[in-house]
Amino acid sequence: MFHTPLPQGEGLQLREWTEADVPALSALFDEPEMDRWTPLRAPFDETAARAYVARAHERRASGQALQLAITTDGQTPMGEVLLFVAAEDGSEVELGYGIGAPYRRQGLASRAVRLMLTHAFHDAPVRRAVLRIQPGNTASTAVARGTGFHLTDEPLVLRESGTRSVKLRTWELRREAVADAWRTFITFATTEAHAAD
């Protein structure tokens, strides 16, 4: 699933995090909205950023996850998009994303999610992609809708983040839905989604 080359397109160049990104990573993630809506807790200093990069490399090497910096020039990180295995048989993947405050409202999250979905569905076993979104997170909800995901009626998923517990709704996109409307899927971006992420 975490094959090469890495997904590119939509005006983005996704790449792996490096040690040189530690200062920028800390600057992107050490802010209130990241602390509120993502598993990353504040303060997210350079020590935390360095450990995060190391963990991302470990997860890629073990085939658990792919965590990529979102850039438009192959250099300056503007956020992150994640893809990880959510079912032991490889039939389900989960995505996540976070955009740094200076780079929001440029459609970066929606574009990165579309690229990662193309990457994920390239692998035959993947039947479903999911997003887990906290109720009230209107920006992420807009990204989900704008990239073709649909809210399910599955029970809320409880996730622990530091000393905090959050309950998340499940949004899904199934392979057959993509296959049936691929042209729409790869070009679809609502004004709401573009403005929100």
Pairing of strands 150-151, 157-161: unpaired
Q: What is residue 152's three-state secondary structure?
A: coil
- CA 5 from chain centre, in angstroms, equals 18
- Model-level pTM? 0.87
Tokens for 63, please give them: 């085939």
Q: How many CA atoms lie within 13 A of 98 on its CB side?
A: 19
Partners of residue 145 on adjacent β-strands = none
Per-residue pLDDT at 39: 85
Which residues, 6+ apart, have CB-to-CB distance to 175 below 8 Å? 121, 126, 127, 128
* Model confidence pLDDT, tens digit, residues 105-131: 999 999 999 999 988 988 879 999 999
Least confident of 14-23, 36-45, 57-66, 187-196: 187-196
pLDDT exceeds cutoff 80 at 135: yes
